[in-house]
């Protein structure tokens, strides 16, 4: 091969690897599709479906890290952007509605923050997980929305009523937890409900919605034990964010001591694990959220996606 062309081929291959893997910049030219970030950007960003709990990419990632079965990967909103990129090993305790004796540990990366999330709480991202203050999932989100106002663009086709259908009496539609259809219900009907959210156009959303309900993750948990751990490599390759100050922590393991506790209050409606999918661009997708000393230039931000679920830019 001509050495010149060999060099060009290697440059092209390197560029492809960077694009398929991480990137050196954050997608700050994409505003949030929700009411808090459309503005003058002209193009809108959404939360990436690949980050949903029990998505195929996360299941493969856990297997690749040798943690499949004992651990489930997830991302969540926390109480502050200062936690962007932190990973925690979590043990679930005291389910609000239905318990199982073999709940695996979770490995949860913080990708977002919410003013309504208390310290120690993790708001898990999953298909049909429920709206909060903002909404950009439902096709009618320009006219049917939560307190955060109308969206700039919708990601899916289902209407507002379908997205907030919690399957039990909950007057607070925007904080009801979305589709909650736990394992004693008809699976065919569950699949139908989940498919209607996206109009069948997003298999990842449907898979996550169905699987999290079937495996009883799609509910609140009153209390947890947890500790900071190192983010496994294949997890942050799915999310796009890796902190360089992460390596002082242990990798997830059943033998890791869980030295923190979150205790909610069932009577007051305060929970340590909640669920969400509002489709908004994650707050940790913006640049400037990670201290300069902790930025891994190859993985600087949580990925942003377009309305078709493709990572941008």
pLDDT (tens digit, 9 = 90+) per residue, 159-185? 999 999 888 777 888 999 998 887 666
Per-residue pLDDT, averaged over 66-82, amounts to 94
Judged by DSSP in three states, 91 sits in strand
Look at residue 205 in the predicted model and tell me its pLDDT.
Answer: 95
Q: Which of 246, 252, 280, 248 is nearest to 85 (CA)?
A: 246
Q: Which of 146, 200, 179 is nearest to 34 (CA)?
A: 146
**What residue has token string 């909610």?**
264
pTM of the predicted structure, to 2 decimals: 0.90
Is the pLDDT at 216 greater than 50? The verdict is yes
| Pairwise CA distance, residues 81 & 266, whole Å | 26
Look at residue 183 in the predicted model and tell me its pLDDT.
Answer: 61
Contact 299, 240 (CB under 8 A): yes
| 3-state DSSP percent of the chain in helix, strand and coil, to 5 | 25, 20, 50
Do you know the residue count of the chain? 313
Q: Which of 266, 276, 26 is nearest to 146 (CA)?
A: 276
| Pairwise CA distance, residues 75 & 110, whole Å | 6
| Pairwise CA distance, residues 102 & 88, whole Å | 19
């Amino acid at each position: 091969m001509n050495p010149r062309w060999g060099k060009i081929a290697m440059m092209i291959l390197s560029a492809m690897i960077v694009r398929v893997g991480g990137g050196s910049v954050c997608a700050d030219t994409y505003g949030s599709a929700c009411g808090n970030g459309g503005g003058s950007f002209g193009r809108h960003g959404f939360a990436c479906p690949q980050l949903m709990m029990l998505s195929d990419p996360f299941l493969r990632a856990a297997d690749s890290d040798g943690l499949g079965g004992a651990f489930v990967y997830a991302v969540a909103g926390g109480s502050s952007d200062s936690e962007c990129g932190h990973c925690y090993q979590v043990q679930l305790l005291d389910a609000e509605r239905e318990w199982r004796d073999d709940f695996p540990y979770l490995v949860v990366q913080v990708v977002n923050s919410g003013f309504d999330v208390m310290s120690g709480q993790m708001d898990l991202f999953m298909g049909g997980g429920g709206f909060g203050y903002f909404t950009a999932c439902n096709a009618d989100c320009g006219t049917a929305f939560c307190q955060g106002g109308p969206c700039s663009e919708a990601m899916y086709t289902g209407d507002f009523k379908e997205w907030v259908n919690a399957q039990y009496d909950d007057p607070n539609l925007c904080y009801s937890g979305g589709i909650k259809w736990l394992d004693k219900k008809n699976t065919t009907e569950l699949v139908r409900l989940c498919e209607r959210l996206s109009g069948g156009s997003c298999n990842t959303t449907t898979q996550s919605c169905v699987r999290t309900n079937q495996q009883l993750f799609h509910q609140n948990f009153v209390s947890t034990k947890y500790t900071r751990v190192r983010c496994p490599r294949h997890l942050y390759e799915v999310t796009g964010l890796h902190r360089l100050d992460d390596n002082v922590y242990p990798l997830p393991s059943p033998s890791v001591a869980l030295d923190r506790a979150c205790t909610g209050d069932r009577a007051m409606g305060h929970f340590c694990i909640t669920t969400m999918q509002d489709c908004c661009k994650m707050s940790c997708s913006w640049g400037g959220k990670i201290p300069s000393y902790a930025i891994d230039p190859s993985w600087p931000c949580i990925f942003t996606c377009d309305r078709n679920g493709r990572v941008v830019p």
